[in-house]
Structure formats: structure tokens, C-alpha cells
């Protein structure tokens, strides 16, 4: 069962996912890919919630609920983000992140 | 009998002020004037009723009139003991003032119906008059120093508004500002005096301050520059009184205040507001007498000096209203002198009674003189007496009214001024012979300059006037008639029975010697004036030549105004104010400007960081968060 896996393994996994997300967010140029990177970050956080809940407070469920919340909000956020990206594409004709630089000094 | 109806005396004029001030422009001028006049008439009747009831209250016994407070409520509580209340204090002096103020105000309201007819801002004029009536009536019944101070300022502002009534004339605006600033400066002293006094006495209330609490002020031994605290406080209170009553050297605003409409000069700058200083000293009289006798003598000397000084100037002025203004100064100086030499107690308080008696009669005959002068100005459209003459044929009733006023102020027997002036001279004779001679001399000067005015304006050479000179309209003649009558009979009021320093009966003595002396000098003054001015002759010119520099100085009011201008412009404005302005502009403003400049510069440099690239922001954020996390871990593990 899950108790046989040490917590560090799972945490290493979530950290790996998290930094993959950060790295992708910083170095990729396509807005869709950026969105996917953000999803990775969110999933890493969800894993952390579930794991800490299971290992530290097995009789409570707040962590699980939070994970569910994160999944729900991520879905909503994806819808908003894609709508934004579509509008950016219509306006600028590109979804390359360096082209979206209107909001500067 | 219930006295709470007294509140109406104050509410009614305030209501009129509100109505005329807010909606006056929608009323017809005539209606607005009649409304204000009618209400003032009611206020006068209520004041008479108040006096009637007050002097018949059962609390008085054996000729001692107790103060009564029919209305009072707490307004501000500073500490357990120090409370500012608003209320109505009725005692013989306050009741007398209520009647005088409402009566003169009524006469002036009535008179103005004719005098101000057709003026622009007629409704505004009546609104201000009502505001003044309200403030002055509330001032005289103040139960405590704070209430008095509030209304003291309110009469000041009404005076300011009315002096500057013709606001398109630069002279009027300058005069209004001058009056306001000079009295404000004096009121600063008054305020500090109130604070000092109330701090040490622990109360604002007149009854308590002049009663037993006065001793607690008196025993405070702390002193400053050789004077005890209570003496400083009373000196500062006198400074406020001197400013409002235009005592030397704070008198400079009153002659200029004549720029206002003439009825206003009659009401505010002759009969009521300018005597508020005398009233204040009379209110605080026991404190002066018992705890600050040095200040009381100063009051006497100031009064005597002002009366002489103003009388000399009045002899040389050529503007009819300015002569009257200096005459007012001189008469208020009389009242102050009389207060200053008064004692306290059953026999000794003749000066106190005489001062308030003179205040009472002076209000009547001086407002009469001003209103008559107003009728003359109204008829000839001219202020300078050099361009008037022979008016007795054109304006017989004004002539008579003016003559009555002159006889009253000159102190001719059977006219009111004689009786009150007589008592002042007696009080001065009993306490201070030197001051008596000053007052006696001033009596002669008064007769001289008043009859100089009278003979120049109504006798003398017939002048050529640009338009026909007509007698004043009826709305102006009737107040003149009423005031003439009162100016004759006011002297027969048994004043000492009602008003005296300790609330006791005060017997008025009569010294035939002093009466003869004062009447003689008055007659001499009148005769000289008649010789010089009744018929055109060369004597006045010769005399002015002979007097030389003294005449020129008196003509220029002894250069007091120029002295003030020199001090303010050359000494205060130039070196001090300019330095302060420079510091303000370059140091204080400079610091603020420098901060703004530095911020702008920094912002200009660092704004490049906002490059619009989301990934840059993300990188910086992630790097910072990582850095912070590392720092925290490092700190936690060590």
C-alpha cells in the first residue's frame, strides 16, 4: 500500500514536477505550452497536499479537498487562459510570448 | 413670573438673518426691510417686558438686584469643573443693555428704510443688521467668558460685513479689513486673558469669577515680569476691551469704519458695539478692583488720555462722520476713565454707575447725532463740512435733532448728557484730581467741536448745491424725533437705583461747584465755536496758522496710522516677513521639492525593469522565492 512508499520519494516526484513547470514557464515561448507548464506546477502542489494529508494527518481530509479544489480551479483557469490566448491571437496574429509585450512602461 | 420667553429676543433676529440671508433676494426690498424692522420692534418690546419683569422679581430685596439665569445649558465640558455653558444672565446692567441695544437697533432699522432706499443689496443690509442685533443681544446676556467671546467675535464679523457693505469701493474694503484685523489683534489678548483667568479660577462663569472664585485667582502667587498672574490676565482682557472700544493706541480702526453706511455707524460704531469693551470691564469690575487695582488705574489713564487725544483731533477734522467718530472715542474714554476711578461698595461705586449711565445716555444722543448727520449726508451727497453750510433753512427738523444731540453731548443742563457727564466728573473729582481736570478740559473741547460742526453745517455761508436740498423722508424723520425726545429725557432715569457695582442702591451726589464748572466750560466752548463758525470770518484760518505744527499733526491724527504703517511695513514686513517668506520658499518648499525630484529620478531609472515580458517577471519571482526560501532555511538551521 501507499504507506510502504517513503514520503521522500513522493516529495522528490512533486518537486521534480514543480521545477519542470517553473522551467517550462520560463523558457518556453508558446503561450499554450506556458499554460501546460502552469498545469504541471498546480499538479505538483496537488500531490503535495494529498501526500502530506495521508502521511501526517491520516484521519483528516482537508488536504484531499484542497487537491480537488485545485483541480477544479485549474480547469476553470484553463478555460479563461485559452480564451485569453485566442483573443491575443486574433489581435496580434501570434501566440509567441515575446510578442505579447504591450503592457510595459 | 417665568422669564424663559427671553430666548425669543435672541431667536427672532437670528431667524430674520437666516431668512433674509438665504431668501432675501427673492423678497422685495421693501418687504425685507419691513420684516426686519417689525421683528426688531417685537424684540424691543420683549426687552422692555424683560426689564419690567426683572426689576419686579421677588428675589430682590432691600434694593439689591440679584442676577437671574432663566435659561442655561451645558455646551462644552472641558473637565469636571471647567464647563462652557450657553445661557442668559439677567442683571441690571444686562437688562439695561438689552433695552438700549434693541431700542437703538429698532431706530436704525426704521431709519434705514429711508436712508438705504434703492441701494443695491438692501436685503443683505438688513440681514447683516439682524445678525448684528442677534450677536450684540447675546453678548450682553452672556453668562460666561466663552459665550461672551463667541458673540464678541460675531459682533466683530457683523461690523466687518457692514463696514464693507459698499464692497465696490476700495476705501470701504480697506476700512473693513482694518477694523477686523485691529480688533482681531486685540481679541488675541482677550483670548489669552480668558484662558489664563479660567485656568487659575477653574471656571468661565461670571458669577463665580467675580464671586468667591476670584480669591482663588488672587492668591496664585506666580508672577511674570513683575505682575501677578491675575494682573496679566486682567490686563489682557482689557486689551480685548480696548480693541473693541477703540482705546488709544488701538483706536485707529474706528475713524476709518465710517466708510460704512451712516446708520451702521450709528448703531455699531457709536451706540452699541464699541461700548462692549466698557461693558466687559464693568462685568469683570470686582476682579479688577480687588485683584488688579494697578490695571484699573491703567484703564483710568488710558480712558483719560484717549478722551483728550480724540477730542483734540475731533476739533480739526472736516469729515462730518469722522468728527463724530472721534467724539465717540472721546466719550468712550470718559466711560473708561469713570470705571477706572470707581470704587466698590455702597458709597464708593459712583464711578461705575456713572460710566454705565453715560454709556446709556451716550448711546441715545450719539446715535441721534449720527442719524442726523446721515440725513444731512443723504440730502447734500457730501461728507465734508467744508462744502456744507446754511442747512438750517432747508432741513429744519434735522437741524433741531442735531441741535438737541449737540446740547446733550456738550452737557448743557436739562439734557441727558449733562447728568451722566456730571456723575463722571464727580467720580473723577472724588478719586483723582488730575484726571478730573483732564475730563473737565475735554468737556469744553467736546462742546467746542460739536458746535463747530453744528455752526458750520447748519449756519455759516450758504453753499451752492448741485441739486435741490430737501428735508429727509418721513421714515428718517420719525426716528430722529423719537431719539431727540429720548436724548432729552434719558437723564431723568434714576439710574443709580438700578445699576451699581455691588448690586446695591447707589446714591447719586450732586456737587453744585462741579456742575457750575462743567457748564461754564461747555458754554465757553460753544461761544468760541459760535464766534468762529456761525458767520464766515477769517479768524479760524489765522488760528490754525498760529497753531502751526500742532494743528497739522492733529489734522493728521497725530500720525498714529502712519506709525502703525511704518511698524508693520518697514519693521515687520520687510526684514521679518521677507526673511520668513524666503525660508519658506527655499528651505521648507525646497525640501519637499527635493524629495519629489529624487523620487522622480529613481522612478525614471528603474521603470525599465517593467519590460512587458511575462517570463522575465516569472523568472524574477521564482528566483526571489527560491532565494528567500534558501535564506530562511539557512537562518533556521543555524
Query: Which residues in chain A have Cβ-Cβ distances shorter than 8 Å to B618?
Result: 22, 25-26
Q: Which of A93-97, B145-149, B207-211, B213-217 has the lowest mean pLDDT?
A: B213-217
Contact B612 A26 (CB under 8 A): no
Distances in Å between the Cα of A28 and the Cα atoms of A88, A89, A97, B422 are: 17, 17, 8, 110
The CA distance from A83 to the nearest CA of chain B, in Å, is: 18
Looking at residue A49, its pLDDT comes to: 92
Interface mutation target, options B602, B603, B613, chain A, most CBs of A under 10 Å? B613
CA proximity to B235, closest of B298, B285, B148, B147: B298
- The fraction of chain B above a pLDDT of 70, given in percent, is 95
Question: Chain B residues with CB inside 8 Å of A105's CB?
Answer: 607-608, 610-611
Tell me the residues of chain A between 74 and 103 that have a Cβ less than 8 Å away from chain B.
97-98, 100-103
Q: Which uninterrupted H or E stretch holds A5?
A: none
- Tell me the shortest Cα–Cα distance from A101 to chain B, in angstroms: 4
Instruction: State the nearest Cα–Cα gap between B611 and chain A, in angstroms.
Output: 5
Q: Is the pLDDT of residue A72 over 80?
A: yes
pLDDT tens track for B575-591: 888 889 999 999 999 99
- Min CA distance, B614 vs chain A (Å)? 7
Lowest-pLDDT choice from B61-75, B76-90, B365-379, B474-488? B61-75
Do residues B164 and B175 touch, judged by C-beta distance below 8 A? yes
The shortest CB-CB distance from B612 to any of A22, A26, A101 is to A101
Nearest chain A Cα distance for residue B591, angstroms: 28
Q: What is the mean pLDDT of chain A?
A: 89
Interface check A4 vs B, CB under 8 A: no
Are B445 and B306 in contact, with CB atoms under 8 Å apart? no
pLDDT at B130: 92
* Minimal C-alpha gap between A1 and chain B (Å): 33
Which residues, 6+ apart, have CB-to-CB distance to B99 below 8 Å? Answer: B44, B47, B48, B51
pLDDT at position B633 is 95
Cα separation of B324 and B317, whole Å? 10
Give me the numbers of helices (H) and strands (E) for chain B, helices first please.
28, 4
Least confident piece of the model among B91-95, B161-165, B191-195, B223-227: B223-227
C-alpha cell at B563: 506709525
Q: Which of B216-225, B231-240, B346-355, B627-636 is the least confident region?
A: B216-225
User: Is B530 in contact with B451 (CB distance < 8 Å)?
Assistant: yes
pLDDT value of position B24: 81
pLDDT, tens digit (0-9, with 9 covering 90-100), for B178-230: 899 999 989 999 999 988 888 877 778 887 777 755 555 555 666 666 677 78
B625 contacts on A by Cβ (under 8 Å): none
Facing B607 at nearest CB: one of A25, A98, A105: A105
| Contact yes or no for B610 and A104 at CB 8 A | yes
**SS3 assignment for B220-276:** CCCEECCEEHHHHHHHHHHHHHHHHCCCCCCCCHHHHHHHCCHHHHHHHHHHCHHHH
DSSP state of B205: B
pLDDT tens-digit map of B253-281: 888 888 888 899 888 888 888 899 999 99
Per-residue pLDDT band at A15 (split at 50, 70, 90): very high
Considering only alpha carbons, which residue of chain B is nearest residue A101? B612
Whether pLDDT at B344 is above 90 = no
Q: Answer whether B286's CB lies under 8 Å from B210's CB.
A: yes
User: B585-623: b or e for each residue (b if 16 or more CB lie within 10 Å)?
Assistant: eeeeeeeeeeeeeeeeeeeeeeeeeeeeebeeebeeeee
pLDDT at B608 over 90: no
Closest to A26 (Cβ–Cβ): which among B610, B612, B619? Answer: B619
Q: What ipTM goes with this model?
A: 0.83
Considering only CB atoms, B612 lies closest to which of A25, A26, A102, namely A102
Angstroms from B616 CA to nearest CA on chain A: 7
Rg of chain B (C-alpha set): 30
Ranked by mean pLDDT, the top range of A101-105, B32-36, B498-502 is B32-36
Q: How far is CA A17 from CA A92, B64, B198, B481, in A?
A: 32, 103, 79, 108
Alpha helix (H) residue ranges in B459-503? 474-489, 495-498
The C-alpha cell that represents B108 in the structure block: 436704525
**A18, A20, A26: best mutation site toward chain B, by most B Cβ within 10 Å?**
A26
Mean pLDDT for B350-361 is 87
For residues B370 and B406, the answer to whether their CB atoms sit within 8 Å is no
Residue of B nearest to A38 (CA): B618
Residue B327, pLDDT above cutoff 70: yes
Span of B41-45, B56-60, B443-447 with lowest mean pLDDT: B56-60
Minimum distance, in Å, between the CA of residue A9 and any CA atom of chain B: 21
> Which residues of chain B neighbour A34 with C-beta distances below 8 Å?
614
Tell me which DSSP letter residue B414 carries: T
Which of A25, A97, A104 lies nearest to residue B611, judging by beta carbons? A104
Which B positions 589-618 lie with beta carbon below 8 A of chain A?
607-608, 610-615, 618
Strands B83-90 and B227-228: unpaired
Question: So what's the pLDDT on residue B225?
Answer: 63
Instruction: Give bridge partners of residue B76 from the DSSP assignment.
Output: B84
Identify the top-confidence range among B146-160, B427-441, B450-464, B536-550. Answer: B146-160
Q: Which residues of B touch A37 (CB under 8 A)?
A: none
Q: Considering only CB atoms, which chain B residues are within 8 Å of A104?
A: 610-612
User: Mean pLDDT across the stretch B414-420?
Assistant: 87
Q: How far is A98 from chain B (nearest CA, A)?
A: 6
Q: Which of B611, B612, B623, B629 to mutate to test the interface with A (most CBs of A within 10 A)?
A: B612
The predicted structure's pLDDT at residue B533: 82
Going by pLDDT thresholds of 50, 70 and 90, the confidence category of residue B107 is: very high
What separation in angstroms does the CA of A5 have from each of A50, A64, B16, B404, B473? 14, 19, 93, 122, 116
> How far is the C-alpha of B573 from the C-alpha of B610, rounded, in Å?
52
Which one of B612, B619, B622 has the shortest CB-CB distance to A104? B612
Interatomic CA distance for residues B360 and B353, integer angstroms: 10
Q: Check CB contact under 8 Å for B618 and A25.
A: yes
pLDDT value, residue B506: 57
**Taking CB atoms and an 8 Å limit, are B622 and A26 in contact across chains?**
yes
Chain A residue with minimal CA distance to B614? Answer: A97
Chain A, 6 to 65: residues with Cβ < 8 Å from chain B are: 22, 25-27, 34
Share of chain A above pLDDT 70, in %: 96
Interval B351-361 mean pLDDT = 88
The answer to whether B110 touches B37, Cβ cutoff 8 Å, is: yes
Alpha carbon distance A31, B304 (integer Å): 97
Mean pLDDT score of chain B, rounded to an integer? 85
Q: Is B394 within 8 Å of B467 (Cβ atoms)?
A: no
Using CB atoms, pick whichever of A22, A27, A105 lies closest to residue B610.
A105
Can you tell me the distance from the alpha carbon of B589 to that of B583, in angstroms, rounded to the nearest whole number? 8
Domains of chain A: 29-98 (1.10.287.3510)
> Nearest-CA distance from B638 to chain A in Å?
23
Residues of chain A contacting B615 with CB distance shorter than 8 Å: 25-27, 97-98
Lowest mean pLDDT among B417-426, B532-541, B603-612: B532-541
What cell was used for B208?
463665580
Please give the pLDDT value at position B135: 92
Kindly state the cell numbers that stand for B552.
497739522
* A26 CA: distance to closest CA in chain B (Å): 5
Q: Do residue B611 and residue A101 have CB atoms under 8 angstroms apart?
A: yes
Cβ pair B615:A26 closer than 8 A = yes
Residue B157's pLDDT band (cuts 50, 70, 90): very high
Report the residue from A26, A103, A105 with minimal CB separation from B608: A105
- Interface test mutation site (partner B, options A25, A28, A35, max chain B beta carbons within 10 A): A25
* Among A22, A97, A105, beta carbon nearest to B614: A97
Amino acid at each position: 500500500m501507499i504507506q510502504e512508499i517513503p514520503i521522500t520519494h513522493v516529495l522528490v516526484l512533486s518537486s521534480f514536477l514543480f521545477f519542470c513547470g517553473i522551467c517550462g514557464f520560463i523558457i518556453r515561448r508558446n503561450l499554450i505550452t506556458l499554460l501546460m507548464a502552469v498545469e504541471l506546477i498546480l499538479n505538483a502542489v496537488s500531490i503535495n497536499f494529498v501526500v502530506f494529508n495521508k502521511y501526517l494527518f491520516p484521519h483528516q481530509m482537508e488536504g484531499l479537498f484542497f487537491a480537488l479544489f485545485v483541480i477544479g480551479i485549474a480547469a476553470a483557469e484553463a478555460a479563461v487562459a485559452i480564451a485569453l490566448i485566442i483573443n491575443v491571437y486574433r489581435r496580434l496574429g501570434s501566440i509567441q510570448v515575446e510578442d505579447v509585450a504591450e503592457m510595459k512602461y | 413670573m417665568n422669564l424663559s420667553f427671553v430666548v425669543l429676543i435672541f431667536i427672532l433676529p437670528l431667524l430674520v438673518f437666516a431668512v433674509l440671508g438665504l431668501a432675501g433676494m427673492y423678497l422685495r426690498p421693501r418687504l425685507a426691510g419691513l420684516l426686519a424692522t417689525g421683528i426688531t420692534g417685537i424684540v424691543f418690546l420683549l426687552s422692555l417686558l424683560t426689564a419690567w419683569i426683572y426689576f419686579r422679581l421677588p428675589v430682590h430685596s432691600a434694593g439689591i438686584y440679584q442676577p437671574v439665569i432663566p435659561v442655561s445649558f451645558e455646551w462644552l465640558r472641558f473637565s469636571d469643573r471647567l464647563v462652557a455653558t450657553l445661557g442668559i444672565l439677567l442683571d441690571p446692567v444686562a437688562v439695561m443693555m438689552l433695552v438700549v441695544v434693541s431700542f437703538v437697533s429698532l431706530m436704525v432699522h426704521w431709519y434705514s428704510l429711508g436712508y438705504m432706499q434703492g441701494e443695491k443689496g438692501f436685503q443683505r443690509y438688513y440681514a447683516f443688521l439682524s445678525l448684528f442685533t442677534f450677536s450684540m443681544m447675546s453678548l450682553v446676556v452672556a453668562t460666561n467668558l466663552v459665550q461672551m467671546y463667541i458673540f464678541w467675535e460675531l459682533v466683530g464679523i457683523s461690523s466687518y460685513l457692514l463696514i464693507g457693505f459698499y464692497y465696490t469701493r476700495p476705501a470701504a474694503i480697506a476700512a473693513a479689513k482694518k477694523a477686523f484685523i485691529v480688533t482681531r489683534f486685540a481679541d488675541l489678548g482677550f483670548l489669552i486673558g480668558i484662558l489664563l483667568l479660567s485656568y487659575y479660577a477653574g471656571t468661565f462663569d461670571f458669577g463665580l469669577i467675580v464671586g468667591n472664585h476670584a480669591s482663588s485667582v488672587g492668591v496664585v502667587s506666580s508672577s511674570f515680569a513683575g505682575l501677578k498672574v491675575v494682573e496679566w490676565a486682567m490686563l489682557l482682557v482689557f486689551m480685548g476691551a480696548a480693541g473693541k472700544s477703540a482705546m488709544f493706541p488701538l483706536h485707529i480702526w474706528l475713524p476709518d469704519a465710517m466708510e460704512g453706511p451712516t446708520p451702521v455707524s450709528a448703531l455699531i460704531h457709536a451706540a452699541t458695539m464699541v461700548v462692549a469693551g466698557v461693558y466687559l470691564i464693568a462685568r469683570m469690575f470686582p476682579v479688577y478692583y480687588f485683584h488688579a487695582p494697578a490695571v484699573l488705574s491703567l484703564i483710568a489713564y488710558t480712558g483719560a488720555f484717549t478722551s483728550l487725544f480724540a477730542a483734540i483731533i475731533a476739533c480739526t477734522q472736516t469729515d462730518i462722520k469722522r468728527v463724530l467718530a472721534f467724539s465717540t472715542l472721546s466719550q468712550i474714554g470718559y466711560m473708561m476713565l469713570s470705571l477706572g476711578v470707581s470704587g466698590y461698595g455702597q458709597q464708593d461705586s459712583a464711578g461705575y454707575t456713572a460710566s454705565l449711565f453715560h454709556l446709556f445716555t451716550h448711546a441715545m444722543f450719539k446715535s441721534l447725532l449720527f442719524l442726523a448727520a446721515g440725513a444731512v449726508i443723504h440730502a447734500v451727497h457730501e461728507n465734508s463740512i467744508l462744502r456744507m453750510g446754511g442747512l438750517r433753512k432747508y432741513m429744519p427738523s434735522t437741524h433741531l435733532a442735531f441741535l438737541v444731540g449737540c446740547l446733550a453731548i456738550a452737557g448743557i443742563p436739562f439734557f441727558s448728557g449733562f447728568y451722566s457727564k456730571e456723575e463722571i466728573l464727580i467720580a473723577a473729582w472724588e478719586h483723582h484730581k488730575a484726571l478730573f481736570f483732564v475730563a473737565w478740559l475735554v468737556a469744553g473741547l467736546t462742546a467746542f467741536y460739536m458746535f463747530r460742526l453744528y455752526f458750520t453745517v447748519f449756519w455759516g455761508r450758504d453753499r451752492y448745491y448741485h441739486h435741490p436740498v430737501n428735508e429727509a423722508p418721513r421714515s428718517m424723520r420719525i426716528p430722529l424725533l423719537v431719539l431727540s425726545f429720548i436724548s432729552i429725557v434719558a437723564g431723568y432715569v434714576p439710574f443709580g437705583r438700578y445699576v451699581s457695582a455691588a448690586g446695591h442702591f447707589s446714591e447719586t451726589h450732586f456737587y453744585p461747584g462741579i456742575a457750575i464748572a462743567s457748564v461754564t466750560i461747555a458754554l465757553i466752548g460753544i461761544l468760541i465755536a459760535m464766534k468762529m463758525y456761525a458767520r464766515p470770518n477769517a479768524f479760524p484760518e489765522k488760528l490754525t496758522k498760529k497753531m502751526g505744527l500742532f494743528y497739522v499733526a492733529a489734522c493728521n491724527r497725530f500720525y498714529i496710522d502712519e506709525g502703525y504703517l511704518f511698524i508693520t511695513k518697514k519693521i515687520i514686513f520687510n526684514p521679518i516677513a521677507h526673511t520668513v517668506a524666503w525660508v519658506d520658499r527655499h528651505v521648507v518648499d525646497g525640501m519637499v521639492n527635493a524629495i519629489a525630484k529624487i523620487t522622480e529620478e529613481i522612478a525614471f531609472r528603474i521603470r525599465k525593469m517593467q519590460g512587458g515580458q511575462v517570463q522575465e517577471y516569472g523568472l524574477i519571482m521564482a528566483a526571489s522565492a527560491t532565494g528567500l526560501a534558501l535564506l530562511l532555511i539557512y537562518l533556521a538551521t543555524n
